[in-house]
A and B are shown apart, each in its own frame.
Chain A
Amino acid sequence: MAKKASESSEGPEPHAQAHADPPGQFVWTRKDLLGLDELSAEEITHILDTADTFKEVSTRSIKKVPTLRGKVAALLFFENSTRTRMSFELAASRLSCDTLLLTSKGSSVAKGETTLDTARNVAAMGVDIIVMRHGQSGAPHMLARNMPESIVNAGDGSHEHPTQGLLDIYTIRQRLGTLQGVRVAIVGDIAHSRVARSNILGLKKLGAEVVVVGPPTLVPQAMTAMGCEISHSLDDVLPDIDVINMLRIQFERFSSNLFPSLREYSRLYGLTAERLKLARKDILVMHPGPINRGVELTSDVADGPNSCILQQVTNGLAVRMAVLYLVSQGTE
């Protein structure tokens, strides 16, 4: 693309021009990103392709473009987050989009204000995009039904975490070149995992095969309705997969008798270097973070040659830039 002098002191190039004509003939229309469930394969591919074009920005000496200059994104984080929040903040900043940050601590959430009221009040300050992480499934859908601003789901309860799903899929595509026919295992607490749902739904749409692995208490049989296979044995699954995504196990789960102990869980479903020998040599090991080292992954696997965990984080930035850019163009 032609380099053009720009009067902007923030970036060397008006990136928005490069995106006036998005990759392919596809026209993005959605103002919200609530989940991968409602997206078509074409829409998902379009986000990934858009992320590809944004990836280059982060390689420049001045890592910033004026694409969303003058826009405001409010980051409403009603649950703890490190990676996702910082990634969205940086993504917005690279697009010259101003950000407002609210975390539940110290906000009026503590005073009993409803989520919708909080969001409406923040929006009344003149916000274009609301990026929300919330502990309740469907919370961003409630906002989207009631507000004209763009709503981006940064994780809702046990439902979806669409940008995580997208960055996982992006990373697989980047490493394997395709998703068609790729076999992906997702291991752990599938029942309560928003990462699992977004991955399953997105991967299936792009032609991958997904097998979810864990004990029946963490892997509901009804999951098969989303198009994935179910296995209760990691050892059985390992030889036959291209990618393994190890989910973080939530310590509070064993208090509700979903599994007997971390020790037993780790023995049955933890990925060790020894167990990894059952898999193909070039298997891709993923983890959405934060890792419980020694529980779902041993350190030698997390830091080993098959791991692409940090690459996932890097890709997350480009994917979130793409999402912020696209929803701000959305009309629906």
Chain B
Amino acid sequence: MNDILIQNGRVIDPASGRDEVCDVTIAQGLIKHVGKARGKARETIDADGAVVCPGLIDLHVHCREPGHEEEETVATAAAAAVAGGFTTLCAMPNTHPPMDNDTAVHYVLHRGGEADLARVLPVGCISKQREGKGLAEMGLMLDAGAVGFSDDGDGVASTALMQRALQYTGMIGAPLMQHCQDPELMTGAMNSGPVAVRLGLGGIAASGEQIMLQRDLELVRRTAAKYHVQHVSTAGSVELIRAAKADGLPVTAEATPHHLLLTDAACMNYDSNYKVNPPLRTAADVQAVRQGVADGTIDCLASDHAPHAKEEKELEFNAAPFGIVSLDCALALYAKALVATRLLTWPELIARMTVNPAAVIGRPLGTLSQGAQADVTVIDPNKRWTIRTRAFASKARNCPYDGWRVRGRAVCTIVRGQIKFRR
């Protein structure tokens, strides 16, 4: 007997190009069959009118564990993930201490296993202590289960270290994920430009992102590494990535909900819920990032879910930490930025949240092919709802979308053939 039968849903599996109304059956944690269901199941989900797709993957989540469990834990991040329809999250390594060794990778994997909600796949540091000086033990971390490497929160400023890191990850085959930002061109808390000048806040120049990206692309050209651009925020970066792809470089990229929806004008009242790194940019940048996602220049959507405690965000804009949480509501935000604007269809949106991020980390996830891991998300694409941060499964409330009316919501999230969330 099957474990789960999902009936009559619009099954969208971008990996195989499937888009039809049919059934999905799951047994022993694997996809058993997609098509007309055969046999009975212990549990039947009526997906009439809903989309049934591979479990959504978020390449960029800050779980804050170890070190800042008051902000978020692996368990609460994983709970927010499944509530938002995500079956896999990649945990960033800017923890305290930083995840820069195999023991730390084991720890985060262990906490993910204990939570037993979404899959938690660790991303290790590029440099020891995330200090940008010496290479971290990336080979050992890879063996322990890391799926990629990043010093996220900071870019790797040293050109020599970045070259070594790319040579090294080229050897071990893991993606190197870069937070592109020249640290010397970062002298403030928001996007450089007229709004920052008016507010008397120092700026984070768009050129700081593009200069590091341009340097990295030059290095990628000379190595075999897989290079992934995190949270693309400027029109110039989109253009650079587009040109690099046209040149055949092994480059991938991600965009966040906030860089698809918000501009630096939102900072006008010094509300630190709009303080994020990379910062909110201009309307032209938002349009360019959307266009980049639409034409495939930007392969993936990733939340950069960055939880902070209330008291940390209740500080002066400069003193407050960077970060926005959105795991609970990211799917609806992407739909608002990309589907409601007719830039993407639902199958195209789902590709950027499933098969594409799976390819970046080289894992056999993000597909409904027979025998694949039974990670499945059921989405009601027409569900209208209001984002209420107080109802988040995440611990954090540093979210500027509270009260937003949105459309589209996960109604059931299945991980390894088990229902982890149902609405």
Contacts and interface: CB of A to CB of B under 8 A. Distances in A.
Interface of A: 37, 114-116, 134, 136-139, 141-142, 145-146, 156-160, 191-192, 194, 197, 220, 222-223, 225-226
B315 A114 contact: yes
Interface string B170-210: 00000000000000000000001110111111100000000
B269 interface: yes
Interface in B285-332: 311, 314-319
Given A115-B316, A136-B317, A137-B317, A145 B197 contact: no
A136 B188 CA distance: 11
A134 B196 CA distance: 18
Contacts of B317: 136-138, 142
A138, A145, A159, A197 pick with most chain B CB within 10 angstroms: A138
B346 interface: no
A141 B269 contact: yes
B200 A197 contact: yes
Contacts of A138: 199, 201, 270, 316-318
A142 B198 contact: no
Contact of A191 (B197, B271, B311): B197
Contacts of B318: 136-138, 157
Report the interface size class on chain B. Answer: 20 to 34
Given A137-B316, A145-B269, A226-B198, 10 more contacts: A115-B316, A142-B315, A142-B317, A156-B200, A159-B199, A159-B200, A160-B200, A197-B200, A222-B194, A225-B197
Contact of B270 (A114, A137, A191): A137
A37 B200 contact: no
Contacts of A134: 316
A90 to B, nearest CB: 27
26 contacts: A114-B311, A114-B314, A115-B315, A115-B316, A136-B318, A137-B199, A137-B200, A137-B317, A138-B199, A138-B201, A138-B270, A138-B317, A139-B316, A142-B270, A142-B317, A145-B269, A157-B316, A160-B200, A192-B200, A194-B200, A197-B200, A222-B192, A222-B194, A222-B196, A223-B197, A225-B198
A192 B187 CA distance: 12
Nearest to A201: B198
A134, A137, A141, A145 pick with most chain B CB within 10 angstroms: A137
B314 A142 contact: yes
User: Which 9 A-B residue pairs are closest in the complex by CB-CB distance?
Assistant: A138-B270, A159-B200, A158-B200, A136-B316, A225-B194, A137-B200, A222-B194, A222-B197, A141-B270
Contacts, number: 67
Q: What does DSSP make chain B's interface, helix, strand, loop or mixed?
A: loop
Nearest to A225: B194
B193 A222 contact: yes
A240 B113 CA distance: 73
Given A134-B316, A138-B316, A141-B269, A37 B198 contact: yes
Given A114-B315, A116-B314, A142-B314, A137 B201 contact: yes
Interface of B: 192-194, 196-202, 269-271, 311, 314-319
Given A141-B270, A145-B269, A222-B193, A136 B198 contact: no
B200 A226 contact: no
Contacts of A159: 199-201
Contacts of B319: 136
Contacts of A223: 197
A207 B61 CA distance: 50
B63 to A, nearest CB: 26
A198 to B, nearest CB: 10
Contacts of B311: 114
A227 to B, nearest CB: 11
Contacts of A139: 316
A160 B268 CA distance: 13
A156 B317 CA distance: 12
A142 B314 CA distance: 8
A289 to B, nearest CB: 20
Contacts of B315: 114-116, 142
Nearest to B314: A116
A194 B196 CA distance: 13
Contacts of A156: 200
Nearest to B189: A137
B170 to A, nearest CB: 37
Contacts of A194: 200
B194 A146 contact: no
Contact of A226 (B193, B197, B201): B197
A197 B196 CA distance: 12
A220 B193 CA distance: 9
Contacts of A220: 197
B75 to A, nearest CB: 29
Contacts of B269: 141, 145
Contacts of B270: 137-138, 141-142
A137 B270 CA distance: 8
A30 to B, nearest CB: 15
A194 B270 CA distance: 16
Contacts of A115: 315-316
A194 B197 CA distance: 11
A37 to B, nearest CB: 7
B183 to A, nearest CB: 14
A65 to B, nearest CB: 35
Nearest to A196: B200
A239 to B, nearest CB: 28
B198, B271, B317, B319 pick with most chain A CB within 10 angstroms: B198
A194 B318 CA distance: 16
A193 to B, nearest CB: 8
A139 B192 CA distance: 20
Contacts of A137: 199-201, 270, 316-318
Contacts of B200: 137, 156-160, 192, 194, 197
Nearest to B316: A136
A98 B144 CA distance: 66
Contacts of A146: 314
A102 B315 CA distance: 19
B193 to A, nearest CB: 6
Contacts of B192: 222
A142 B193 contact: no
Contact of B198 (A157, A192, A197): A197
A225 B194 CA distance: 6
A158 B198 CA distance: 9
A50 B171 CA distance: 74
A158 B194 contact: no
A136 B272 CA distance: 13
A136 B201 CA distance: 9
